[in-house]
Structure 1
Amino acid sequence: MQLPTDYKELATAYGPGRFADYLQVYHPHGPTPYVDLTGPMPAIIRNQLQKDHNQGTHPVPYSPQRLFAMGSTDNGEYLFWITSPSNAPDRWRIAVNEARGPRWFTFDGTLTQFLVSVLNGTTSVPQFPVDLLQQEPAFSPSGPITPDTFVPPAPAATTNLDTIRDWARANGYDVPLRGRVPAEVREAFERAHRADAG
């Protein structure tokens, strides 16, 4: 599949990592299968969307077969290319779903235009936390991942943020009542529950 020119330039310039400590753009050399553009996640997410579409669980405003997941957020939303027209990737638009909800947001522009517009405060995505830009947005490259430090994320559909917040408060973490849950808290929650399961 051809990729948009702006994405190839972005991936080359920045490499794998996160923007504003919240937005993860998948990369062909992502450090784990969960953030690798060429890994299994885009197909897994598309299959889940197709299942939701077929069952009427959450309305999908586009054909799931036209959506290609190329990023995610700390709260479990996914960023998609709307791959239409399929032979003109530089004209693809951006869609963002709502984790555990029916809302979708569409941006009429490229991924790079979307990131710039969101990170400079011009575009407000309703699914994103209101405090997203409280700190100056920056890019954080992905560090080396080892089996000891990497905890696979739970599927978005099964992770309830209120449950994570309740667990975090009970275990001494300071978390906001609303908005995003810091990545280190989510990772601690996942580690604790993996240990309980094992």
Structure 2
Amino acid sequence: MNNSVARLGELIEPPQPREKDWAAAERELGFPLPSDYKELIQTYGGSNWDDYLYVLEPGCPNDNYDLIEWEDQQTEALDGLWEFEKKPAELEDEGTRVIPWATTDNGECLYWLVRPGQHPDEWTVMVNEARGDRWEHHSVTCTQFLADALTGVIRSNILSSRFPLATHEFRQLQQV
């Protein structure tokens, strides 16, 4: 088990494991996904952490948090945004892009930073504020970011100051 997913298991007891057709999801997305993220989804599924952060899942039972839909929407939205706003420095190299993996109830978005030729297990985390141009880069994987944010090791200047909660809450995302 990935160390970060194991740390999450110490905070929140995992529900019943879920199986996922990763080949189909990756085929639909057009790119492979990080192995720690796949383990997170198989362990926790699309999920809400501390009543604030939503981890997206390909084919999520709650369509509002479907990774495939979010990837399409965010790619289109950011392409339009870059016509008017300056890209963060991390995205200036040709072929570099971001792919969403989580969001918040305030509208912040958490992305993987994807560089050309980089293996998905090396993707790091970018956080973008909800209606603004502030970005943060965290040189960790998505599961390490989640575990570190929940334990206070990482403090974001963009995410809510009320995250994480003193007593953690978790729920799987179900159909709405």
| Bigger Rg, structure 1 or 2 | 1
TM-score using structure 1 length: 0.66
- Given the superposition, is the C-alpha separation of residues 98 and 109 from structure 1 closer, same or farther in structure 2, using an over 3 Å criterion? same
Matched residue SS, 1:11: helix
Structure 1: state its 5+ residue gaps: 146-198
Alignment check: 8 A CA contact 1:117 1:123 kept: yes
Separation of aligned partners in 1, 2:83 and 2:150: 35
The counterpart of 1:50, out of the listed 79, 84, 106, is 79
How is 1:134-173 mapped onto 2 (pairs within 5 angstroms)? 134-145=165-176
Alignment check: 8 A CA contact 1:6 1:112 kept: yes
Q: Which amino acid letter does the alignment assign opposite residue 81 of structure 2?
A: D
Q: Which amino acid letter does the alignment assign opposite residue 60 of structure 1?
A: P
Residue 60 (structure 2) aligns with: 30
Matched residue SS, 1:81: strand
Residue 12 (structure 2) aligns with: none
Separation of aligned partners in 1, 2:171 and 2:113: 26
How is 1:1-198 mapped onto 2 (pairs within 5 angstroms)? 1-38=31-68, 40-56=69-85, 59-61=87-89, 62=91, 66-145=97-176
Q: Which amino acid letter does the alignment assign opposite residue 70 of structure 2?
A: M
- List structure 1 segments (4+ residues) > 3 angstroms apart after TM superposition: 58-61
Alignment check: 8 A CA contact 1:90 1:110 kept: yes
Greater displacement, 104-113 / 78-87: 78-87
TM-score using structure 2 length: 0.74
Separation of aligned partners in 1, 2:54 and 2:165: 18
Question: Over the residues paired in the alignment, what is the CA RMSD in angstroms?
Answer: 1.8
Q: Which amino acid letter does the alignment assign opposite residue 55 of structure 1?
A: F
Matched residue SS, 1:44: helix
- Given the superposition, is the C-alpha separation of residues 25 and 69 from structure 1 closer, same or farther in structure 2, using an over 3 Å criterion? same
Q: Which amino acid letter does the alignment assign opposite residue 67 of structure 1?
A: V
% identical equivalent positions: 32
Cα deviation, residue 93, structure 1: 0.4
Alignment check: 8 A CA contact 2:50 2:169 kept: yes
Alignment check: 8 A CA contact 2:62 2:175 kept: no
Cα deviation, residue 60, structure 1: 3.5
